[in-house]
Structure 1
Amino acid sequence: MTSSPTDIAGKAVRETDSTVLLTPRYEGTNICTWIGFKHVNYLVEEAVLAHFRSAGVSARDLYEEYGVGLDLVELDTRVLTALHADDPARVTVRPVDGDGGGALRFRVGIEVEQRDGATIRAASSKVAVRLRRADDATDAPPVPGGLAGHVADSLGAGEPVDVAVPPPGGTRLADGRGGTDDPVLAPLLADRNAFGWKWRIPYFYCHFSERLQLSGYLRQLEEVVDLFLADRGISIRDMLTDRQWIPVVPHSAIRILGEALMEEDLYTVYTVDEVFKDFTYRSTMDCYVLRDGALRRMATGTITHGYARIRNRRDWSLVDFDDRVHRALAGPGSR
């Protein structure tokens, strides 16, 4: 029997490697010309989207023709070497066996050609994708062959949190980047070396007209780190001004547990989990929404940081933590 074009497309997504040449976005060159972890992950996301596109089932086609949204729901990335602005990145996407839970899983590798002509591995990622049926897609045709088992009616309802929740404070536009004193945060922060932040989800962090997308959580992770460091007295600008130190991220991971919706209040808790000697520290980000008087955890992630000293406009070197950094990471009341 001859396979249909849609069957071939589904098979290509699930079984065929793809490679695309990409360039990091200029937006990510915040310190000198180095690319931050968020934009390394953007390269991974773009390569996964290109993988579907090259198979003949782009994210646009899946939504407009078949009524399903393509959602990255897990992203785990290890940065092996620094990427710079204008680096030509060769990104390969390799399908791997699913977990039986409906996710399409991929391994993604980034290689970069250096100025001397050598090619090195820059990053590696593990990615999970879900196809989420749109609520108004009752009359849409079936998705291409082989992908039907990966379509779900929801990305999940989140994980219930068993804590007593006080009445929330209001969300004011005057809060700008959000507030840190909402009563709902208190039970989430109790007995934890953590920082809490309430924030209204804007439409430009969302997709498919309703829900916070994974790249939005990456932006959330980047911002809560920035606010945490400022709250602990070692803001990024202060460390740059005082000693030319910058945070570096060898590892980050995010997993979506449920659907946080546009204009909901998102309660983000950033917890320092462990400091590894004087070199790196690992933290967890948990994101919650309040529905029907109960908290639900909608996403979780981890991030590992170290510090590097800028030697010149091109080079940096890793440094050990000093007492100031150790005290900040240990939290209020530490010596």
Structure 2
Amino acid sequence: MTADTEPVLTKSLFANTTHVALRPRYEGSNICTWIGFKHVNYLVEEAVLEHFRSAGLGARGLFEAYGLGLDIVDLDTRILHALHLDDLADAEVVSVTKPGDPVLGFRVTLSLERAGQPTKAVVAKVKVSLRPTDYLPAAGEPPAELAGFVVPELGAHLPAARPAATVEPADNTALQQGRGTTGGDPVLERLTAGENAFGWKWRIPYPYCHFTERLQMSGYLRQMEEVVDLFLADRGISIRELLADRRWIPVVPHSNIQILGEALMEEDLYTIYTVEGIFKDFTYTSRMDCYVVRDGRLVQTATGRITHGYALIESRSDWRLVNFDERVVRALGG
């Protein structure tokens, strides 16, 4: 990147609409050939990264030339039609960034061909921050048009949080004790007290991080997927059990995650999953809140919500939504 080309590059980032053909990864096809919400969000993430690449401002170039990490800090996705293995989605990305915005904003639409017709399958809103690296020598100045989106740390553009609570964490994620715990932890007990909530403490591993130190959005997506799995098992309606009993699978029409601060590699992450409401015994919405403890104080690093329903597997290619029965309602209600 040179000074002569920088204004052209940033103009195309804001002005151009990009299209890229994407297929979901094989890993995301866990039940029959349907693709789970996490991998749908991975497609949204890849579409945004491709938008930056097509503008000549790919994540690698931003980091190597300017020392900037491209971080997705807000991801809100609605799934209108299920994606299947081997589907070819057309991903459209449009900038919705306005003058004075503290983050880069994009609208992403994934479309599929169904019965010979283009069908809108996924719509998402994505926000991006640019975070300088702290552990390498200073890099060149970024294009002036990007300077307003550079933050000293993730979440710095948000209003200041209330003073953090003082806590005394337990040392119960050492390797000889396992990588995490869901009970008997004083911080988890404090965070779940009086709530229809489930808590999980877990050591952040390096594969969930990027730019060498911090938990990234895809890591939080994996966290959200796993805490749901643990919560359902804890309530006696594990995913495997309902599959075996009645061929029911969880389905997700909506999810969102917002990064509020930074969680670092090998810190203990406290994830609280709280059921907020059940709608007509058909869907339920839960909130995920993530914390770390620094200097004896709780620091919230992310929050998000996810909506679930249940689908009955009717064949190898078809399913239909079903109402919750009394057993599921009781379990979700705590």
Mark yes or no: TM-score above 0.5: yes
What one-letter code is carried by the residue in structure 1 that aligns with 2:262? E
1:53 matched to which residue of 2?
53
Does the 8 Å contact 2:172/2:181 carry over to 1?
A: no
After superposition, where does 1:43-192 map in structure 2 within 5 Å?
43-98=43-98, 100-114=100-114, 116-136=115-135, 139-156=138-155, 159=161, 162-176=164-178, 178-181=180-183, 182-192=185-195
Matches of 1:99 and 1:295 in 2, distance apart?
A: 34
2:222 matched to which residue of 1?
219
Sequence identity percentage: 62
TM-superposition CA deviations, 1:288-323 (whole Å, max 9, x none): 000000001000000000000000000000000000
Deviation at 1:169, TM superposition (A): 3.1
1:26 matched to which residue of 2?
26
TM-superposition CA deviations, 1:141-163 (whole Å, max 9, x none): 12134112111121137845654
Q: Over aligned residues, Cα RMSD in angstroms?
A: 1.6
Does the 8 Å contact 1:282/1:302 carry over to 2?
A: yes
What one-letter code is carried by the residue in structure 2 that aligns with 1:31? I
SS, match of residue 232 in structure 2: helix
After superposition, where does 1:173-322 map in structure 2 within 5 Å?
173-176=175-178, 178-181=180-183, 182-322=185-325
Q: Is 10-19 or 290-299 further displaced after alignment?
A: 10-19
Deviation at 1:139, TM superposition (A): 3.3
1:11 matched to which residue of 2?
11
Matches of 1:297 and 1:75 in 2, distance apart?
A: 17
TM-superposition CA deviations, 1:232-272 (whole Å, max 9, x none): 00000000000000000000000000110000000000000
Q: Structure 2: which 5+ residue stretches go unaligned? A: none
Matches of 1:192 and 1:99 in 2, distance apart?
A: 41
* Structure 1 moving runs of 4+ over 3 Å: 98-101, 136-139, 156-164, 174-177
Matches of 2:163 and 2:272 in 1, distance apart?
A: 13
SS, match of residue 147 in structure 1: helix
Equivalent pairs, count: 328
Matches of 1:202 and 1:214 in 2, distance apart?
A: 14
1:328 counterpart (324, 327, 331): 331
Deviation at 1:190, TM superposition (A): 0.7
Q: Is 180-189 or 49-58 further displaced after alignment?
A: 180-189
TM-score relative to the length of structure 1 = 0.94
Q: Structure 1: which 5+ residue stretches go unaligned? A: none
Deviation at 1:46, TM superposition (A): 0.2
TM-superposition CA deviations, 1:125-154 (whole Å, max 9, x none): 000000001114653112134112111121
Does the 8 Å contact 1:79/1:124 carry over to 2?
A: yes
